[in-house]
């Protein structure tokens, strides 16, 4: 018996068991990231029907793995959900990133984070005025001297008077 033959591997008999970027098509990665994102939104009390959710591949990193990003577009006004999303975006992104890192996706791709954008339909609703009011209410306790002034609203002298 030849001792060297004991240590030689026959590649035809050795099945491929390593996970590589080629073994997982991009659609499965997109679906997995989307599922993770939907689960985290649900945990945060944000109904996904106020958002358009898109997961996009941005290209490849230096290590050859694809880079993905979650794109959220606000399309409907829901006071509680929108405020939670706007204020909690860093928390949501951290939870999604941590969950992606703990999943198989991290082995084959990179996740760069979340991008949030209000749609034109959202901007044309009364939600914008309500959001402005909410920002003023949040700032008011800290700025007792200027109750109706905010970085996100017009000064009183420049505001249009509502039609009578």
The parts of the chain modelled with pLDDT lower than 70 are 1-25, 140-164
For 46, other C-beta atoms within 10 Å of its C-beta total 22
Alpha-carbon separation of residue 59 from 14, 62, 63, 110, 121 (angstroms): 32, 10, 11, 10, 30
The pTM of the full predicted model, rounded to 2 decimals, is 0.67
Taking the C-alpha atoms of residue 101 and residue 68, their distance in angstroms, rounded to an integer, is 13
Domain boundaries, the chain: 18-121
Two tokens, residue 129: 């005025």
Please name the fold of domain 18-121: Alpha-Beta Plaits (3.30.70)
pLDDT value for 153 = 56
Angle among Cα 84, 88, 89 to the nearest 5 degrees reads 115
For 97, other C-beta atoms within 10 Å of its C-beta total 18
Q: Write out pLDDT tens, residues 111-139.
A: 999 999 988 777 777 777 888 888 777 77
pLDDT value for 77 = 84
Check residue 109 and give left, alpha or beta (phi > 0: left; psi -120 to 50: alpha): beta
Taking the C-alpha atoms of residue 108 and residue 162, their distance in angstroms, rounded to an integer, is 55
- Are 148 and 101 spatial neighbours (Cβ–Cβ below 8 Å)? no
Radius of gyration of the chain (CA): 24
pLDDT value for 52 = 93
Two tokens, residue 1: 């018996």
């Amino acid at each position: 018996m030849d001792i060297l033959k004991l240590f030689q591997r026959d590649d035809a008999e050795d099945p491929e068991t390593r996970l590589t970027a080629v073994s997982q098509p991009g659609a499965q990665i997109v679906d997995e990231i989307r599922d993770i994102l939907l689960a985290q939104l649900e945990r945060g009390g944000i109904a996904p029907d106020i958002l358009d959710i898109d997961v996009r591949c941005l290209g490849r990193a230096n290590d050859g793995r694809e880079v993905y990003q979650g794109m959220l577009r606000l399309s409907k006004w829901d006071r509680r959900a929108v405020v939670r999303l706007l204020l909690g975006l860093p928390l949501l992104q951290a939870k999604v990133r941590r969950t992606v890192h703990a999943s198989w996706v991290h082995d084959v791709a990179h996740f760069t984070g979340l991008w949030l954008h209000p749609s034109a339909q959202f901007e044309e609703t009364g939600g914008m005025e309500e959001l402005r009011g909410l920002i003023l209410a949040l700032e008011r306790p800290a700025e007792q001297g200027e109750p109706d002034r905010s970085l996100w609203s017009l000064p009183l002298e420049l505001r249009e008077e509502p039609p009578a």
